[in-house]
Each structure stands twice: as structure tokens, then as C-alpha cells.
Amino acid sequence: MTDATSGMLTPGTLDLFSKKTRDQILAMSLILFNQRGFGAVTTASIAEKAGVLEGTLWYHFRSKKDILAAHMELLQTVFAQENTSSDSSDAEVIIEGIFRSYDVIWDFRYMLRDDFNTLLKAEDPELAKVLSINEFLDGWTEGRMLHAAKHGLLDFGQEDPEAVSEIILVLGRYWMDFSHKKYPEAEGSALRYKGISHIFTVLKPYLSKAAKELVSARLSA
């Protein structure tokens, strides 16, 4: 990936993209949609950021909806990769899974933040799919919390997992927009780190001693 994407997407997501033109378009469009919103970004601006002609973009994608569909396929690839370790009982793997949940929300946040009911038509197949992804991610994030609790890393009350997972989702979806306004000079990677630190501040009252040590080591890495 190019320097232009460094710090704007997490390493796990950057690994999904090669240096091929199609992947460059997908990576830069993902960044632009995250920064400006799906509705505000033009194919011309995507092509410019990707360093290609707009006609080249159209060769690979007929419209922004096609790019959205490709992003959703990438997100499904991420889910498939993450699910291979989702049943682990290893404490370090579980804590890393919570970090990765935030990374996924961060990297694909435009899908979770933007109101696609107003951006797409009711008959567009992409609308049903993006709404389904939102619903799935809600459950997936809460599942991470419950899995950690099952293995003694979090100690929740009966209603806490849903509330905590919703806070994580809100931070992932909207933290970047808020933080860019509050800290306009800060780098994207620094803001992402601050966001994940806030999430573990929320989780701190529920974390076991072992979990706190793992989180502290991970944040210090």
C-alpha cells in the first residue's frame, strides 16, 4: 500500500489490498468514504486520490454502488478471518479480538455511520446488504464481550454486555468525526489509538486483573 493510506487504515485491513489498480481504488475510496461520507465523494475524487484516470475507475467499477459492494465483500472476508479465532479460550487471543473488533469498525465506519436509507433506493440490493451488515456487526461486537466474560476476562451484570457493546460501536462509528474537530492537528493513527484507549476506559470496571495487564501491555506496544 502507498504512504497515502498509512495510518488511515489499520494494518489488518491494509493487508487486504495489493498494489494492483483495483485494490488502490478500493483502498482510497474506503478512506474517502470514511472521511467525507459516501454521498459526498465523487468517482472523480476517488480516481484522483488513487492516481488513476476516472475512466480507469469506471473500467473496474460502474458506480459508487459497485465500490460499496466490493467493500462489503472485503468486510465479509475480515469477518471470516476473525471467526477462525473467535472461539479461542486463550486470554491474549480474546483481548486481541476486542482490539480487532474496534479496528474493523474503524476501517469500515462509513458503512455503519452513513444513512444508506437516504443514500440508496429501496430496490437497490446494496441497501439490504449494508443494513444486514450493520445488524450483524452489532451482534458480533456484543458476542466478543460475552465471550470474554465467559472466560473470566470481563465481569458483567445481566444487561451490561449490550450497553457496553453499543458504546464501542458508537465510538467506532463517530469518534473520528468528533476527534478531528476537537484535535484538528492530530494524526489519524493517534486519534485511533485515543479511541481504543477510551473503549478500554469504558471496559476497565469490568476487566479482570489478568485482562487489565494484557490491555496495558497491548496499549503500550
On the question of pLDDT at 180 being above 90, the answer is no
- Copy the grid coordinates of residue 140: 458480533
**Nearest alpha carbon to residue 95 among 40, 47, 153:** 153
On the question of pLDDT at 122 being above 80, the answer is yes
Rounded average pLDDT over 30-41:
95
pLDDT in the model for residue 84 = 64
Q: Quickly state the pLDDT bin for 207 (edges 50, 70, 90).
A: very high
Residue 176 contacts residue 106 (beta carbons within 8 Å):
yes
Residue type, 101: S
pLDDT tens track for 74-98: 998 887 777 666 678 999 999 988 8
DSSP-derived secondary structure letter, 9:
B
Q: What pTM value is reported for the model?
A: 0.87
Q: What is the 3-state secondary structure (H, E, C) of 38-100?
A: HHHCCHHHHHHHHCCCHHHHHHHCCCHHHHHHHHHHHHHHHHHHHHCCCCCCCHHHHHHHHHH
Rounded average pLDDT over 132-153:
89
Q: Which domains does the chain have, with CATH numbers?
A: 3-220 (1.10.357.10)
- Copy the grid coordinates of residue 211: 485482562
Nearest 5°: phi and psi at 123?
A: -85, -5
Whole-Å CA distances, 28 to 20, 73, 159:
12, 16, 39
Residue 214 contacts residue 92 (beta carbons within 8 Å):
yes
pLDDT in the model for residue 124 = 96
pLDDT in the model for residue 2 = 46
On the question of pLDDT at 3 being above 60, the answer is no
Neighbours of 74 (CB within 10 A): 18
Q: What percent of the chain has pLDDT over 70?
A: 95
On the question of pLDDT at 206 being above 70, the answer is yes
Residue 10 contacts residue 82 (beta carbons within 8 Å):
no
Rounded average pLDDT over 38-45:
97
On the question of pLDDT at 115 being above 80, the answer is yes
